[in-house]
Amino acid sequence: MTDLNRRQFVGLAGASLLLPSVTANAATAPRIVVIGGGFGGATFAKYMRKASPTATITLVEPKSTFISCVGSNEALVGLSSLSKLSFTYDRLKASYGIKQVLSTARSIDVVNRKVKLATGASLDYDRLILSTGIEFRYDAIAGWNKITEKLLPSAWHAGPETTQLAAQIKAIPKGGTFIITVPPMPYRCPPAPYERASLVAWYLSQTNPTAKVLILDANATFPKQQLFEEGWGRLYPGMVTRIVGAVTEVDAASHTAKTANGGYKGAVVNVIPPQRAGTLATATGLTDASGWCPVDVLTFESLLAPGVHIIGDAAASGLPKSGTSASGGAKAAAEAIGNLLGGRAVTDPVIINTCYSRLAPNYAIGIASVFGRDNSGKIVVRQGGAGTGTSPLGASLAYRRTEASDASKWFRAMIADTFS
Amino acid sequence: MRLPIPLLTSLLLFLPAVANAAGPSAKAMANTCFICHGGGGQESLRGMRASEVIEEMREMKREPREGRLMSVIAKGFSDAEIKAMAAYIATLK
């Protein structure tokens, strides 16, 4: 038996142990519905099964293949590809007895605990998990809307827009400028605009060395800032410029972005728009004035609708909006719901956020934080703030190369933890 | 200080909602590891003895250059928590 076959066999054996109990208790088994199959939703489904062998777990996700945003900056410049970032739910379904409904959730009745699907069918739930991520604020930047985004793709969802933006970058004329606009926080994956700027600089340094990268940033500071700036100075001297100032207007025809300081014209303008929780969350009344969903971080249950738990980017949990935080929150929520279903006390959450950013193929930097919950019910760094830190500043190129290898391992393990 | 009875009652009702969780479980702590320690990632934890996990975590806390980001993560757990997590990890098949 090959290693792969053995693993498949173990997966099937596990499924056969789990499935009969699900079937046998179908009438009384708790019904868990998960909307959204990203890092949050997929991880939740898997860990919910680990927390409850009898629950029926239904994942509402219209796509059969997930394309990871983590790694998509690498795909943008040819260091990876969308196919290498694509994963199916097949193993989750086979190994953990999870049912996928290939449809979109249209509405939620939080009183009668029902999800209405685009197919017209509806699903009853005892606990609903919303992991629907972000939506763009199309009204935030004048000139950037659902029509002009076809010309100025954000590529903030990995997929066809990644390919489209890659073609635009490839076509930058000699000495042209790649402009990337960064929205005010919070937005999905805080270090990612700076990683993208770095990798575009790497790509241009190979093919178009007189080209420039300009970051127009709504934020005064950003994560891993000193490490990024050190890297830009080392790897791309004179090539990357960052100007603080929120972009208020863009012109798709002339490739111009405007801030209070004036207009900036580029060969490419990559608009990363301001963000909020997805429309389903808003329409269900799960969001507050911030545009995100307030939750009790002990269980990730909504503060506005009982029985609905919000994990991942859509939640205003105090966690960073990252894939690993979504995964960590999903595990914490699954553990809490398992305890609630079993009539046990809920224990404190613990969530690790780990994030690597690649500045060049063999140069990466990282940040990690271990989060818990304080006595007032807020997410805080554990051990009195000791459990957080970044890669050291001033480390050797050999160290950054080791971290680039760590980054590759991190991605592979994250995918394995989420999808198998 | 003497609090009026209704206030005392409401405090009693309110407190458990905030303070009913006494630290994370060993399982919850161990579950956080698998985001990096798993297929194709950093060293697998399955098959490790509790004493090995404890020693590795201590070393990570001591050696930030060697441990890299893991040394940051190790500092997010107390010695008692590491002991509990290690005991749980040792039971994993």
**pLDDT tens digits for range A93-108:** 999 999 999 999 999 9
Tell me if B78 and A388 make a contact (CB, 8 A cut-off): no
Q: How far is B91 from chain A (nearest CA, A)?
A: 15
For residue A269, which phi and psi values (nearest 5 degrees)?
A: -115, 110
A349: contact with B, CB 8 A cutoff: yes
- pLDDT value of position B7: 43
Tell me if A346 and B20 make a contact (CB, 8 A cut-off): yes
Nearest CA-CA partner of A66 in A45, A95, A47, A97:
A45
Contacts of residue A413 in chain B, CB cutoff 8 Å? 34-42
Query: DSSP H helical segments within A52-150, as ranges?
Result: 72-76, 90-96
Q: How far is A192 from chain B (nearest CA, A)?
A: 18
Q: How many angstroms separate the Cα of B55 from the Cα of each of A158, A369, B50, B61, B86?
A: 40, 21, 9, 10, 10
**pLDDT tens digits for range B4-54:** 444 444 444 444 344 456 789 999 999 999 999 988 899 999 999 999 999
Contacts of residue B76 in chain A, CB cutoff 8 Å? 352, 369-370, 381-383, 386-388
Q: Is residue A342's pLDDT more than 70?
A: yes
Kind of pairing between the strands at A275-277 and A293-296:
unpaired
Select from A370, A390, A403, A405 the residue whose CB has the most chain B CBs within 10 Å, as the one to mutate to test that interface.
Answer: A370
Contacts of residue A10 in chain B, CB cutoff 8 Å? none
Contacts of residue A52 in chain B, CB cutoff 8 Å? none
Q: For residue A381, what are the contacts with CB-CB under 8 A and spacing of at least 6?
A: A369, A370, A371, A372, A387, A388, B76
Q: Report, in this order, helix, strand and coil percent for chain B, each rounded to 5.
A: 60, 0, 35
Q: How many angstroms separate the Cα of A69 from the Cα of each of A80, A111, A339?
A: 12, 34, 32
Q: CA A148, A183, A415, A405: dihedral to nearest 10 degrees? A: 110
pTM, rounded to two decimals = 0.91
**pLDDT tens digits for range A294-309:** 999 999 999 999 999 9
Spatial strand order in the sheet of A293-296: A98-101, A56-60, A31-35, A127-130, A308-310, A301-302, A293-296, A315-316
Kind of pairing between the strands at A56-60 and A98-101:
parallel
**How many Cβ atoms sit within 10 Å of the Cβ of residue A33?**
25
